[in-house]
Amino acid sequence: MRLRTALTVLLLVFVPLTGHAAKKKKPLAVEVTPSSNGLPLVTLTASDAPLSEVAERLAAKLGTTIDVSAAARNFRVTTELDQQPLDLTLRELAPQAYVDGVLTGGTGKMVVLSIHLRTAGEEAPPLAELTKSSSEVTMFFGNTEDPNVDPFEGKLDVTYRNDRLRVFANKQPLSVVAFRIADVLGIPFELLGDSREVVDVSVTDATPEQAIKALTPSVKLYHRKDLSTFRVTPVRLVVQETFEPAKANP
């Protein structure tokens, strides 16, 4: 009888302890790995963690800043993600997420400048940081001898309709092509250095990102992506002359 009573007491003690251990919160863990397709991949484990803490950890791994609004800081995050693209990860963290970044032509490399997390219905943060520029270039086109003659006819054509670009350039200066793209997009254009690159381009029905990828790495598009709609807002177009390191003499 005493043995049976002792076993019953042990079981009563063991079961609650086991149940308590099963409900223990998993520690917050964040890892980021580069991706050849642009945005990095995120592995994230969170159990009822404050969004502000998750954002702080993720920002440190990305090497960027994540701005969380006062209303969104109280959100709690419980999720397990394995190698998920950054944009999809951010959609799970907050109802409204914005990524400000720079897209490099040719390579399609994407650099994240900042991330903004908001609650549903909150206004988007201002674009002030993306619009800062060190210089602004005004370029003039045309034939001063005969205003009725278009010197670019058959050589350069850039149009933007229904959020799609058509860019055709036949052996044209890169700076001129980029300026025309910025002009039809209605965004500032910036020229750094004396770019002498000449390009051939032919893209139709292209998004701004696709059109920029068709150019060279000297071109950089500053933009914002609204992750609730995946709509991209071009903000500024920059052409910066690239310098190749001088080769040592044999």
Statement to judge: residues 192 and 139 lie in one domain: yes
Residue 84 belongs to some domain of the structure:
yes
Question: What residue ranges in the chain does DSSP mark as E strands?
Answer: 29-33, 41-50, 65-68, 76-85, 96-104, 110-118, 156-161, 164-173, 189-192, 198-206, 219-226, 231-240
pTM of the predicted protein model: 0.79
How far apart CA 218 and CA 168 sit, in angstroms, is: 18
The structure tokens listed for 206 are 């292209």
pLDDT tens for each residue of 86-98: 999 999 999 999 9
- Quick one: 161 and 236 in the same domain? yes
| pLDDT one-digit tens code per residue, 179-238 | 999 999 999 999 988 788 999 999 999 999 999 999 999 999 999 999 999 899 999 999
Domain around 116: 29-101+110-120
Domain-located, residue 201: yes
CATH number assigned to the domain comprising residue 57:
3.55.50.30
Domain co-membership, 160 together with 194: yes
In a domain, 96, yes or no: yes
81 and 174 share a domain?
no
- Tally of domains within the chain: 2
Residue 183 lies in a domain: yes
- Asked whether residue 73 falls in the same domain as residue 167, the answer is no
